[in-house]
Structure 1
Amino acid sequence: MSVVVVGSANLDLVYRVERIPAAGETVLAKGFDSAPGGKGNNQVTAAARAGADASFIAAIGADAAGDRLVASLVDSGVDLHLRRTDAPSGTAVIYVDDRAENSIVVDSGANRMLKDLTADERAIIGDARVLLLQLETPPETVAAAAAVARAAGTIVVLNAAPIRTLSPALLQTIDVLVVNEHEAALLVEDLRDEDPAGLSEQALATALAESGFAVIVTLGVRGAVVSVPSAGNAFVEGLTVDAVDTTGAGDTFCGALVAELERSGASALDLGTLVRCAEFATVAAALSVQRPGAVPSIPTLAEIQAFRATL
């Protein structure tokens, strides 16, 4: 198997609003929709649509929302290794304002049940070339999956979102860390015991890379910074597009990144390889923000290639 994603799946409940409500404020929505989402679901869908042979290990409720999530994953060509549980499927309430910015509240639901990896799940991870993880599932599961991958020689990519403290055991198994600039600042403060105030994105990436793994700090429309230990930094230029909804853009970036990483066949995670993968992922993310929703906005390989040819 080429790419395996261990992670979350949620049904997104999306409200379009003029502005995201402040504490104690009620606003009237301009529209409502629901669609498959969740960081793991978004990322494995992005990897599959970007051309990877992608597999998904997750826990999903045995309910109507879970059936909808499964149907979406099957439609995207994802190979499924799911636990259908009595717990309700995870949900997320998302507010998207007129500037395409969002605010999200997640109820993990069935995602909390993804514990104690089975022998079959461990074998699937060990057979992969790349493992992609996030932090919407129990931290002990994330650490266990990463340990299995490291022992098998599988490349471990961690998108440390939503941000939380990373255990020393998990840190020792990471090959590539993907974070946005806000997450990078919090991790520098936590892992390096440094005050991130005033540090540039390049300095944040360098500080995190001193822990021994490659780092990609995403900067939204401004692009990304790639840092590899002992090889320095590189800047990936962003793309200016007419954004409609930024929900899932970071997940699209991660899924496209690992698809291109697997496709590269690189035996070492050198700076040039990761820059090329980040450039590909930046194009995919720029396409995604031009359409509403998380999973519905994720582009196919043909769409990424066609858009890239116009740049």
Structure 2
Amino acid sequence: MKPKIFIDGEHGTTGLQIRTRLAGRTDLEVLSIPEQERRNKDLRAELLRSADIAILCLPDDASLEAVTLLKDHPTRIIDTSTAHRTNADWVYGFAELESQQAQRIRDAHYVSNPGCYPTGAISLIRPLRAAGLMGSDYPVTVNAVSGYTGGGKQMIAQMEDANHPEHMKENNFLYGLTLKHKHQPEMQIYGNLDHAPIFAPSVGRFPQGMIVQIPVYLDLLKGDVSVKAVHDALQAHYAGQDIVRVIPLDESSAMARVDAEMLADTDGMNLYVFGSETGRIINLVAVLDNLGKGASGAAVQNMNLMLGLA
């Protein structure tokens, strides 16, 4: 019998992307709810309880409600909201976080899908922490730009519809100006940091894509650390998998610019180390699709792991 998958919130941005990724699959049965019935609690509960895996693509409150509906029920859950990302009872759905993380996801009943910005930030921080190159007290700063689809249907309409009452004309804007953002606890916990990083997110006038940057002083790392040592730590951490690619130093040094859209419509992630030994400063950079490895692609990856599928 084919595994049954229910995407709760399939008509939203993330849900639609997941549904597209599953459209050609013949090894799954995807349960669906008509858009006009999406607020029918009884029908939703029936579909949630009929599924082998429920993928929640909902606001935090609605995700919490869905989990309550499935209390003591065998349906396994992948939650793409922020509701459970720092909950110790949930497995963090970043399979490349460390060597045993993919197996933890395979065995999990509850999996929290990472946020797009934290995926990029943690991918750069965690290997340096694990290798002992970065202290837990390092003052981490995260600067990032995302495609506007990360803001969901409302922001998509504001960006694309010139007649929208709240139409956005900006080509790029910074937000989170109070320096308090819902992604910071996630970055701190899975980055193994003592303090939440300073996080400066922004949105660009392009649909999908993302750049996450972490500038680092080599002299504030532990020991006499070189650019190569940092690159080697990233390369060693991500050896043996094909989702996260650490770009060779010679390839990075030949680049004149980094395009936020270079991985749009893909589910991988590229990591770069820019800088020089003489300057003793580097810029760690992650490039990904905010709806790919940053959301829907990661959810499908986690689903495959949980089902033991390729």
TM-score of the superposed pair, with normalisation by structure 1: 0.32
Greater helix share, structure number: 1
TM-score of the superposed pair, with normalisation by structure 2: 0.32
